[in-house]
Amino acid sequence: MKQLDDAAAVIAFDPAVFEILRHPQRTVETTFPVKMDDGASRIFSGYRVQYSNARGPYKGGIRYHPAVDMDEVMALAFWMTIKTAVVNVPFGGGKGGVTVDPKKLSLGERERMTRAFIRSIDDIIGSKKDVPAPDVGTGPEEMAWIADEVSRLRGVADPGVVTGKPIEAGGSEGRNKATAQGGMYALQAIRAAGDVPSPARVAVQGFGNAGQWIARLLAEGGDLVVGVSDSKGGIIKEDGLDVAAVTSHKEATGSVAGFPGAKTVTNAELLTGERDILVPSALENQITAENAPRLRAKLILELANGPTTPEADAILRERGIIVIPDVLANAGGVAVSYLEWEQNRTGAHWPESEVLERLATIMSEATVAVRERALRYGVDFRRAAFILALERLSEAIKSKGWV
Ligand code: NAD
């Protein structure tokens, strides 16, 4: 809400539109029992927030994490509303989650829990209504179960009810790397504007889907990935990490920690080290008023959602550190989700080259539009992205006669 206020302070918006955007349209909290492997039944809490469908069906991922609660899901659903408007895909914003540590579930328990959660929200999702996708703790496997559960419940195949599916279950080529690839396109367009050397020294916080791919793509593009981390710790190698080898090490051991030849560091050290580019790719609220004065990066590419607190954001602005904000930087994920949904609507399957070409167009148009607002209003890229989104949301809300 602070981010929305900041953007609205720059340019006059109809207060009625603003008021609509301050509130989610629908919040749903469910509890559902799941049979665990030991035969006992356990109750889980699930959430789905449908923030806005002003620009199209609600769209947003499903998160499995022990810290998931209604507040977090609501914030994430709001950001999805902004993000789909920034990249101009015909969706609104939503998000969902289950309060659980998925690593503590067996494969069978994870599947039964996913299916039970979907049954608990089946009446509010649909390819023309609300389209979930992966987020932290979920991936293609869960998406395939969701599509299957919905088709069983309704007796019709409707693969577009969820995106981020495996290729063989109606997924799109390029979806696995889409978020990072979209971040690369935004970075390429903006990096020249700052004093960022090439090759750049890069640190990536979080080594899941988004983090692994961005590390790989940056290294392939000639940058030096000197540090990465995950929830179990971080590693630094000043002359550059072999990203493929770190990925294999994580697959084998469950963490990047202990990678041979690298120095072990805490997440705090990883963030504040001497780097040109910092890529937060883990969770919210990692860059705070406490560590922002000590960050030594020239540019921050926010692949995670909400990694920077509003207080930290003000400090970074003052310090002249360029921030490519989450609502632009990680929008490649939802952009390719849109392309997957589009393919599902017609039964098409595009080659990866076509998907990436379309993604590049979507991301470069969005980045150009954000930069244009930043120059026009003399603001940072985050406020510029919010202004762009507010313009598009206002038009949609007014054209529908909601105000
Ligand atoms: P993921 O579950 O695949 O990976 C998350 C990673 O973060 C893991 O490596 C985990 O160990 C690490 N992590 C967790 N807590 C940490 C901590 N305190 N310090 C350091 N590392 C920590 O999730 P993901 O899909 O890669 O998503 C990561 C971020 O990117 C989230 O904020 C998500 O909302 C955002 N995002 C993802 C996508 C996507 O398509 N995957 C799209 C848009 C935004």
Q: d(Cα 316, Cα 302) in Å, to the nearest integer?
A: 13
Write out the two tokens for 230: 């995950």
Any ligand 1 atom below 6 A from CB of 332: no
Average pLDDT (344-355) is 96
Distance 175 CA to ligand 1 centre (A): 15
Nearest-atom number in ligand 1 for the CA of 178 is 40
Nearest-atom number in ligand 1 for the CA of 284 is 32
Q: d(Cα 361, Cα 324) in Å, to the nearest integer?
A: 18
Q: Which of 95, 177, 250, 298 is catalytic?
A: 95
Which of 73, 87, 179, 181 has most ligand 1 atoms within 8 Å of CB, for mutation? 179
Distance 230 CA to ligand 1 centre (A): 9
Average pLDDT (248-260) is 96
Write out the two tokens for 307: 């990694």
Q: Whose CA is nearest to atom 33 of ligand 1?
A: 304
Nearest-atom number in ligand 1 for the CA of 63 is 34
Helices (H), 62-158: 70-86, 107-121, 140-154
Distance 214 CA to ligand 1 centre (A): 12
Any ligand 1 atom below 6 A from CB of 287: no
Nearest-atom number in ligand 1 for the CA of 331 is 43
Q: Which amino acid type is present at position 184?
A: M
Distance 313 CA to ligand 1 centre (A): 20
Nearest-atom number in ligand 1 for the CA of 305 is 32
Any ligand 1 atom below 6 A from CB of 211: yes
User: Is 284 in contact with 261 (CB distance < 8 Å)?
Assistant: no
User: How much is the pLDDT for 192?
Assistant: 73
Q: How far is CA 146 from CA 218, 311, 364, in A?
A: 32, 38, 32
Any ligand 1 atom below 6 A from CB of 163: no
User: To 10 degrees, what angle do helices 381-399 and 70-86 make?
Assistant: 80
Average pLDDT (339-354) is 97
User: How much is the pLDDT for 196?
Assistant: 85
- Count, residues in the chain: 403
Distance 211 CA to ligand 1 centre (A): 7
Of 395, 393, 394, 357, whose CA–CA distance to 84 is shortest?
393
Residue 95 bears catalytic tag: yes
Write out the two tokens for 389: 């989104």
**Is the bond leading into 199 cis (omega within 30 degrees of zero)?**
yes
Write out the two tokens for 254: 């469950």
Structural domains in the chain, CATH included, are 26-173 (3.40.50.10860), 178-329 (3.40.50.720)
Provide the CA 340 distance to its chain's centre, in angstroms: 16
Average pLDDT (215-235) is 96
Kindly tell me the burial class for residue 266, based on how many C-beta atoms sit within 10 Å of its own C-beta (0-12, 13-18, 19 or more). exposed
The pLDDT of residue 174 is above 90: yes
The per-residue b/e assignment along 344-383, b for 16 or more CB within 10 angstroms, e otherwise, is: beeeeebeeebbbebbbebbeebbebbbebbeeeebbbbb
Torsion sign, CA atoms 383, 389, 395, 399: negative
Of 389, 325, 396, whose CA–CA distance to 10 is shortest?
389
User: How much is the pLDDT for 9?
Assistant: 85
Q: Whose CA is nearest to atom 36 of ligand 1?
A: 304
Any ligand 1 atom below 6 A from CB of 265: no
Any ligand 1 atom below 6 A from CB of 304: yes
**Got the DSSP string for 102-130?**
GGGS-HHHHHHHHHHHHHHHGGG-BTTTE
Mean of the per-residue pLDDT values of the chain: 95
Q: Which amino acid type is present at position 203?
A: A
Q: How far is CA 259 from CA 253, 270, 281, 354, in A?
A: 9, 15, 19, 36
User: How much is the pLDDT for 52?
Assistant: 98
User: How much is the pLDDT for 11?
Assistant: 84
- Residue listed under structure tokens 């790989």: 216
Nearest-atom number in ligand 1 for the CA of 283 is 32
Distance 283 CA to ligand 1 centre (A): 6
Which of 283, 326, 338, 340 has most ligand 1 atoms within 8 Å of CB, for mutation? 283
Q: What is the pLDDT of residues 79-128, one digit of tens each?
A: 999 999 999 999 999 999 999 999 999 999 999 999 999 999 999 999 99
Q: What is the pLDDT of residues 265-279, one digit of tens each?
A: 999 999 998 899 999
**Got the DSSP string for 284-345?**
SS-B-TTTGGG---SEEE--SSS-B-HHHHHHHHHTT-EEE-HHHHTTHHHHHHHHHHHHHH
Q: Whose CA is nearest to atom 35 of ligand 1?
A: 304
